Structures are given as structure tokens and as C-alpha cells.
Amino acid sequence: MTRLLVLIMGAMATVIFALVVLVILPKSMLSQLQAPPQLKPPSEQELAGRSLYISNGCIYCHTQQVRDPSFTADISKGLGSRPSVPEDYIHDKPHLLGTMRTGPDLFNVGARLPDRNWHLLHLYQPRALVPWSIMPAFPFLFRHKPKADPGDKVLEVPKPFAPGNGVVVVSEEAEALVDYLISLRHDYPAPSNEDQKEVQP
């Protein structure tokens, strides 16, 4: 009985220690952080695109974090001008840091690739732009119609990848996803401790 009691108490102590170190302590340390003035809250359209980004599994192949240059080549590869900091994720609930970089990091994709048409074509058929890409195509985010109606945004698709007839029309979902991707730009200077002290009451 004594050994069982020691085992239970040891297990409880381990759980409590992990709770304090991994949850309570980080939450208390980060709760006072403020969003940098250049980081705007997402719009409803960008939030809709973010939901599509999650539901279509983009989070499984793309990270959203630029790592420290002392042990990675993220900055020299052009993924960002500085490492990510906690303030960059103030508006992200949940954050989408990611764990596997099968595709390129998207933390600054809005700064690297601000062209909407590039993103739309890349979503429709990635190999139309990057022949060696292993990214899946997302043609279901577009509509194939015999002809465009007034107000339709037609996607210009290169001949080898275009449908045999008709046109490819951009859907609201595709537009929202591109809005989200273009909003991913963290090219402002990283906030310093002095900046945080200034904004605190």
C-alpha cells in the first residue's frame, strides 16, 4: 500500500510540475504582450481564408515561423528578415506554427509573393508555376463554367493545365484563402522590451 501511495503521489507531482512549467508559467509570462502597431487584426475575409487554410490541411505541410539564424538558414533562404517573436502571433487563435516544412514557410509569404493572380493559379494548379511542386491542386476552390457571367473573375490558366473548354472562375473561397495568404507578412521590426514597456499602462 505504501509503494502504491508513493507511486500515485509521484505521478501527481509530475503532472503538477508539467502543468506549472508548460502551461501556467508560459501563460503568465506572455499574457502582458501587446501586438506590434504594424500587425493589424485579421478581417472577416482573412479569418474565412484562415479557416479554409486549416480545413484543407495546409497546416500539415507549411510552417509559419522563421527560426533563429544561429542554428538555421531560414533568413538566408529569404523566408524573413528576422526570427519570429511571440508578439507576431497575438491575433492567432490557435497559432499555426506547424511542425513539418514539406512546403516553404509561409510566415512572410504576403511580402515575398504579393501577387493575387500568382496565388490563385498556384492554388488551382501548382505545377503551372512550379513544375517540380508536390503540392496538391485545389481545383474544387474554383468553378468550371461554359462561359463567364458578368461579374465573374476568370482565372487565366496556361494551356497545358486549362480545361478543354469553358472558363475557370474564381470562387469566394479561393479569394478568401488568397486574402489570408497575402495577409501573412511580418516584415516590420521585431518589438523590443522597451516597446512593450511603453504600451503597458
> Each residue of 9-56: pLDDT tens digit?
999 999 999 999 888 887 777 677 888 999 999 999 999 999 999 999
7 occurs within a structural domain: yes
Q: Are 118 and 112 in contact (CB under 8 A)?
A: no
pLDDT digits (tens, 9 = 90+) for 51-97: 999 999 999 999 999 999 998 999 999 999 999 999 999 999 999 99
Radius of gyration of the chain, Cα coordinates, nearest whole angstrom = 22
Cell of 48: 474565412
Is residue 68 in some structural domain?
yes
Pair (61, 14) in one structural domain: no
Residues 25 and 47 in one domain: no
Q: Which of 174, 56, 186 shows the shortest CA–CA distance to 109?
A: 186
Give the range of the structural domain holding residue 60, as residue numbers without chain letter.
42-189
User: Does 117 lie in the same domain as 25?
Assistant: no
Which CATH number do you get for residue 89?
1.10.760.10
**Nearest CA-CA partner of 142 in 128, 121, 164:** 121
Please check whether residues 18 and 94 belong to one and the same domain.
no
